Amino acid sequence: MLQACATTTGGAGSAQTPPSVMQGPKARTASYLGGGALPDGLLLSPPPPAAGSAAEARDKEGAAAALALRGSARWDLAKADADLRPAHAAAAFSCSAGLTIDQAHTPALVRLLSRAMGDLGGSTGEVKKRYMRPRPFMENGQPMCTPDWDKVLRRDGSYPSGHSAIGYGFGLILAEVMPDRAAKLVARGRAMGDSRRICNVHWLSDIEEGRVIASASVMRLNADPAFAADLAAARKEVAALRGKPSETALDCAQEAAALAQ
């Protein structure tokens, strides 16, 4: 039985994680598509909520609700989810996948997600540059879960969320690998995006638009031959592992409790 998933604090996802981790997709394993082949984010995403609008009020309500979770298990999980080193982000889906996702057990799956991360992470870039929306911590003056990233995040637009695009995109891709666990995997990807609201670094609408862009990006990835080949390899690898005992040092019950908050 799988016994674990990434919910610990003070590790790779802690506030000590350097800003380069957050920006890492630009410098990691080559992506599948490259910037020019990504869906047009400016066509997909409308402008962020206008000042004084009902949508902006909803964003502020979501940010206020997140502040109440500071110091909770959900806050700790949000800190862990902030770490976008590919192997760490992939491992965050181990509980929802029902097997250990790491380089030792699932190298093909980690490769698939690592390459896709470059596309998913880059998919929000043009929209961010267009609007340069201030982040919640810049407006409410409250702490974020990764204070070491303060300077970097102030220079990076809030809308839409690249973390949300990566998390939700990973959930969608993993659902293609393990369709019988699709609901659990996509829900974990959604929660990974919402971790950015919990961290006080993204508004709710940032996270929602990240999911929209991720959905279009995954559809585009499915038309890429290299992605299709890696997807097939990951499916074969996972099929050989299904039903075998899988143990790690982390606690899936702990993650489930945190996500329920």
Q: Which domains does the chain have, with CATH numbers?
A: 34-44+59-259 (1.20.144.10)
Estimate to the nearest angstrom the gap between the alpha carbon of 116 and the chain centroid: 12
Task: Give the per-residue pLDDT at 103.
Answer: 96
Annotate 150-211 with three-state secondary structure.
HHHHHCCCCCCCHHHHHHHHHHHHHHHHCHHHHHHHHHHHHHHHHHHHHCCCCCHHHHHHHH
Task: Give the per-residue pLDDT at 30.
Answer: 86
Task: Give the per-residue pLDDT at 9.
Answer: 35
Annotate 40-67 with three-state secondary structure.
CHHHHCCCCCCCCCHHHHHHHHHHHHHH
Which residue bears the tokens 């057990």? 105
Q: Which of 190, 259, 232, 239 is nearest to 7 (CA)?
A: 259
Task: Give the per-residue pLDDT at 35.
Answer: 67
Estimate to the nearest angstrom the gap between the alpha carbon of 183 and the chain centroid: 16
Residues across the chain? 261
pLDDT in tens, the chain (261 residues): 454 444 333 333 333 333 334 444 344 568 999 867 999 999 999 999 999 999 999 999 999 999 999 999 999 999 999 999 999 999 999 999 999 999 999 999 999 999 999 999 999 999 999 999 999 999 999 999 999 999 999 999 999 999 999 999 999 999 999 999 999 999 999 999 999 999 999 999 999 999 999 999 999 999 999 999 999 999 999 999 987 776 654 589 999 999 999
Angle at 163 between CA 181 and CA 222, to 5 degrees: 55
Active site members: 163, 196, 202, 206
At 180, the amino acid letter reads D
What is the gyration radius of the CA atoms in the chain, in angstroms? 17
Q: Which of 194, 144, 149 is nearest to 16 (CA)?
A: 149
Distance CA 170, CA 200 (A): 22
| CA atoms in the 13 A half-sphere facing the CB of 29 | 14
Helix 182-198 to helix 73-81 angle, to the nearest 10 degrees?
100
Q: What are phi and psi of 249, to 5 degrees?
A: -90, 0
Contact 111, 29 (CB under 8 A): yes
